[in-house]
Amino acid sequence: MTAGLTTIVLVRHGVTDWNRDRRFQGQIDIPLNDEGRRQAELTGRRLASDPDRGRIAAIHTSDLSRAAQTAAPIARALGLPLHTEPLLRERNYGAFEGRTHDELAQQEAEAWSRWRAREPDFELPGGGESLRAFHARVERTLLGLAGRYPSATVVAVAHGGVLDCAFRIAAGLPLDSPRGHDLLNASLNRIAFDGERFHLLGWADVAHLEDALDDVEARG
């Protein structure tokens, strides 16, 4: 099914304390908690036993520690070096970062409403990225990975917002459409590039985990 295609296996980082608190992380460097570290180990074991393992050529990760800490056990399990890619970082959420959903709904009512509406060109207060700019960054990065590893598989460990953009790119969904797809911690999410466009192969696979949280930051 994937012969001749470049496959990207997108892995969302394991769970953090801020995920549990429903607190925006964005580009703040929050580490995994104990549960997240266990999820990372299980994800490495899952990929090491994957039928597609022989095609996996490389592992790339966001430079934020919660992603890098998820990627490290995967790299060990596969016996591959780990490449750091800052462009796989989460969206810059500006003044939203470090604050909970309830706090923002009360303290930043207008910005909160516009974020919830998924306005593509709305730049989040405090120097945050617009959804359109973030989506363009993710698309450039995915195309770069696909071009670098033709007809192979690459693992990319990133964040919920990155996965949301990847799903929309592969499924052809507009930026402002409501999200109906899961973005689960330590999940496996597969897309393929045929030389012209991306396609969905599989999404939100957490068969290797006991539990996984959805990403509320990318909910909108």
Cβ(1)–Cβ(202) below 8 Å: no
Cα distance between residue 192 and residue 187, in whole Å: 17
Cα distance between residue 95 and residue 108, in whole Å: 9
Residue 12 annotated as binding site? yes
Nearest-Å Rg of the Cα atoms of the chain is 16
Catalytic-labelled residue, pool 35, 41, 60, 90: 90
Cα distance between residue 148 and residue 98, in whole Å: 35
Is 41 catalytic? The answer is: no
Is 90 catalytic? The answer is: yes
Alpha-helical regions (H) of the chain = 17-21, 34-48, 65-78, 101-107, 109-116, 131-148, 160-171
Catalytic-labelled residue, pool 13, 60, 135, 159: 13
Residue 17 annotated as binding site? yes
Residue 46 annotated as binding site? no
Residue 15 annotated as binding site? yes
Residue 14 annotated as binding site? yes
Residue 19 annotated as binding site? yes
Residue 45 annotated as binding site? no
Residue 189 annotated as binding site? no
CA within 13 Å, CB half, 157: 30
Residue 216 annotated as binding site? no
- In the chain, the amino acid numbered 179 is R
Residue 181 annotated as binding site? no
Residue 91 annotated as binding site? yes
DSSP output for 76-106 = HHHT--EEE-GGGPPP--GGGTT-BHHHHHH
Residue 16 annotated as binding site? yes
Task: Count the Cβ atoms, other than its own, within 10 Å of residue 172.
Answer: 10
Question: Residue positions in the annotated binding site?
Answer: 12-19, 66, 90-93
Active site residues: 13, 90
**Binding-site annotation: residue ranges for substrate:** 12-19, 66, 90-93
